[in-house]
Structure 1
Amino acid sequence: MAIFKGAGVAIATPFKENGEVNYDEFARLIEFQIENGTDAIIVCGTTGEAATMSEKEHMDVVKFCIEKVNKRIPVIAGTGSNCTETAVELSKLAEEYGADGVLLVTPYYNKATQNGLIKHFSAVADAISIPIILYNVPSRTGCNILPETVVKLCKEYKNIVGIKDATGNIAQTSHMMQIADGCIDLYSGNDDEIVPIMSVGGQGVISVLSNVAPRQTHDICQKCLDGDFKSARELQFKALPLVKALFSEVNPIPVKSALKMIGFEAGPLRLPLTEMEPEHEAVLREEMKKFGLMK
């Protein structure tokens, strides 16, 4: 049984002008997501700027989100690290706080071998009992989990249940699902590939787009789950210009600008991320209007 099916939002973390987490606005953003049909919340991932949080701050945000959602939809905590011991400790805390699952990115910078990846993810799986979704994003980590490695982990550990695939390599993804024999819950990690990923057996998406368009992203996934790929494809095509604008600079720079455009006090980004370039912001604003998210 998948942790969730449909659109899970990789939720942004609002900050105050002094750099502290804006918990009041975070609560408002969580409610906006639930009210508009988001199927799960993924907290403290890339979009949530977890890389610039202290471990205490990171887990305070996770705990707040879990308590605010209060089991209305699943909450999946980003607890990955390039240090295996840190990933284990964060994952244990997430389980203690009541997370429905954890999302574990491949160890970045270290560039582990496939054997190293197996040992890394196995250490976390041995330490917790809640479900684990692996996160494969080689463009950010410099490290690719090969299909055979994913299948081995999912078959050997009952709590390693799936993968967020942001490889952009549909051939690799298709091969992985071909050899998986149904043991992998697959989620698209790219908003422009929801329909292709779901067409090869995906359960949904872990989405940046959902921050500003939760209902529309949910609907793309639901059409796929209903077998109506023609309608899903049409919705996906309609969203592509906005998705392109949301990734015109490194995530989450554009999406925090987009949240401000629709009335959320998303606040500043933490260095080394900087505010969106004016020419890119103008394009984003235009695409937000075209998509019907603002006047």
Structure 2
Amino acid sequence: MAYGEARTRFRGSISPVVTPFHEDERIDFDTFTELINWHIESGSHGISVTGTSGEPSSMSVDERINVMETAGKTVNGRVPFIPGTGSTNHQETLRMTKAAQEMGADGALVIVPYYNKPNQHALYKHFKAIADSVDIPIILYNIPGRTAVNLKADTIAALAKDCPNIIGVKEANKDFEHVNKVLLKAGRDFNLYSGIEVLCYPMLAIGGAGHISATANVAPTEVADLFNKWEAGDVNGAQDLHYHLMPLNDVLFRDTNPAPAKTALSMMGKIKPVLRKPLDVPSEEVQEEVRSTLISYNLI
């Protein structure tokens, strides 16, 4: 796929699908396949796995590659498939990104290394080496709340200039001034995706390409329709959906993602409410809040 074509095709709601587990914490591949099919049938414009919502840091590299392969076969070209291949370990990131290319993924979502806190020059070298190692499109993933370091707009712009296959960035960043500067400095044809639920609509308004929102795990149709309405010029409809989704967005982050989302999906009959340690299900109080919110949205 030409990189220009990828910029056009990788638009809309790219669902960051959770990884279902059995009670003993083994990966539940049958349920995982059903979830992906449900997302596509519900109107999601793309599928991503092994990102934050998929609990990748709780999996081995081999497990992550197995999850990616299962997802790719399930998607089967129906929508863009962009797995998360990043890690705190550079060599692991190289291995998983190369594996994504070998299995036919449409692109890769590569997170800023977490815990290490590299400086901007080190981040540039890390991402450039990853981009140079493959021929598939790369979407950077900036989530300073999890990684403890912010990928600055100047660094993103330098990577976009020097690496033709770095086509966009997922910004799970509450600093709206920063995300505006990303498009100013990297170019307005650079694909900007919101990873902050309440900013999905505002990022479309400044020229964003879509969103990779955890809320899509629970309400894939509505999250996709937010983009559809904006793209169709239905500004009022998009605004209405933005405000309609806000209470659901809020409750899904009452605890660490993806714990509330998995709780919601279990209440909806989609998965078992199992997370891998060290994560666990939310408190009973939060579970009741999730339940009442789902009822208010007619999801259960």
Aligned to 1:181: 187
Q: How does 1:100-111 map to 2 (within 5 A)?
A: 100-111=106-117
Partner of 2:196: 190
Supply the AA of the counterpart residue of 1:124: I
> What residue is the counterpart of 1:246 in the other structure?
252
The residue identity in structure 2 corresponding to 1:101 is G
| Among 6, 27, 32, the residue aligned to 2:12 | 6
Gap regions ≥5 residues in structure 2: none
Tell me how many residue pairs correspond in the alignment: 294
Matched, 1:281 2:291: no
- From 66, 76, 91, give the equivalent of 1:70: 76
CA change 1:266–1:98 in 2 (3 A) is farther
1:107 match: secondary structure: coil
Are 2:153 and 1:141 equivalent residues in the alignment?
no
| Aligned partner (choices 238, 255, 258) of residue 261 of structure 2 | 255
How far apart, CA to CA, are the structure 1 residues paired with 2:187 and 2:20? 40
Tell me how far apart the structure 2 counterparts of residues 97 and 176 of structure 1 sit (CA, whole Å).
31
Q: Is 1:16 the counterpart of 2:43 in the alignment? A: no
> Contact between 2:23 and 2:272, CA under 8 Å: does it hold in 1?
no
Q: Is the 8 A contact 1:84 1:123 kept in 2?
A: no
CA deviation map 1:120-142 (0-9, x unaligned): 00011110000000000000000
Name the aligned partner's letter for residue 290 of structure 1: S
CA contact (8 A) 1:44 1:62 kept: yes
Q: Given the two structures, how large is their TM-score scaled by the length of structure 1?
A: 0.97
**Which residue is 1:272 aligned to?**
278
Aligned-residue CA RMSD (Å)? 1.0
What secondary structure sits across from 1:76 in the alignment? coil
Unaligned runs of 5+ in 1: none
Q: Structure 1: how far apart are the matches of 2:227 and 2:189?
A: 20
**1:151-191 deviation per Cα after TM superposition (whole angstroms, max 9, x unaligned):** 11111111000000011111111122122222410000011
1:129 aligns to what?
Answer: 135
In 2, are the aligned partners of 1:151 and 1:183 still within 8 Å (CA)? no
With normalisation by structure 2, the TM-score equals 0.96
Give me the whole-angstrom Cα distance separating, in 2, the residues matched to 1:172 and 1:17: 41
Whichever residue aligns with residue 138 of structure 2, its letter is I
* Percent pairwise identity: 38
- Within a 5 Å distance, the mapping from 1:189-208 to structure 2 comes to 189-208=195-214
